[in-house]
Amino acid sequence: MTDNTPVAPWYRQPWFWFLTIFPIAAIFSGITILTVGTILSPSMVTDDYSREGRGINMAIARDQKALDLGLKGGLTIEARSAHLTLETKDGAADYPYLILNLYHPTMSELDRTIQFRKLAAGEYAGNLVESMGGRWYYDLQGPDNDWRVKGEFWIPSSNKIALKATSPTRG
C-alpha cells in the first residue's frame, strides 16, 4: 500500500458504522424510554398507603354489616327497567331508596348507577338509561352507605338474579 492509495471518506468506512451503531441505538432507545416514562402517569401506584388501607377496612366493615343484617334478595332486569326485592333476617327491608352500582369488567366508561325507589316494604324499582348485556359486577348499598352487597351476574338472565351478603374475606 502506498501513500497515493485513495482512502474512502469516513462515512463509507464499515468499521465506523459497526462500532457506532450500538451506542447510537442505546441513545435513541434511552431517549424513547425517558419520553414515554415522563408522559405516561403511573396510575397503579399510590403514595398514600394508609388511606388505601383504611378504605379497605371500611369496605370489609360494610360487607360484614350486610352479613350481620342477613341481606338477601333478587334482581330482575328487563330492557330498561329493573325490579329488586330485598329482605333482612328480620323481614322485608325498609329503606327509602337503594343504590346499585354496576361495573363493567373491562370498560369503565360503561359503568352505571341505578337508584331504586321504594314501591312497598322490600320492593324497589329503578330505570336504566339504556339496555345492557354481558357480564357485570354489582355493588348494592343503602342510603347511609353503611352496608353493601356485592357480586357478579350476566345479563340477560332468564331467572331472577340472586343477591346475597357474603363473607368479607371472600373477595
Query: Distance between CA atoms of 123 and 116, rounded to whole angstroms?
Result: 9
pLDDT bucket at 2, cuts 50 / 70 / 90: low
More confident residue, 1 or 3: 3
46 within 8 A of 52, measured Cβ to Cβ: yes
pLDDT at 86 over 70: yes
135 within 8 A of 50, measured Cβ to Cβ: no
Instruction: Read off the pLDDT of residues 12-69 as tens digits, 9 standing for 90 and up.
Output: 888 989 999 999 999 999 999 999 988 887 666 556 667 777 777 788 888 888 888 8
Q: Chain-wide mean pLDDT for the chain? A: 85
Instruction: Read off the pLDDT of residues 119-162 as tens digits, 9 standing for 90 and up.
Output: 998 899 999 888 788 888 999 998 888 898 988 888 877 778 88
Nine-digit cell at 126?
329503578
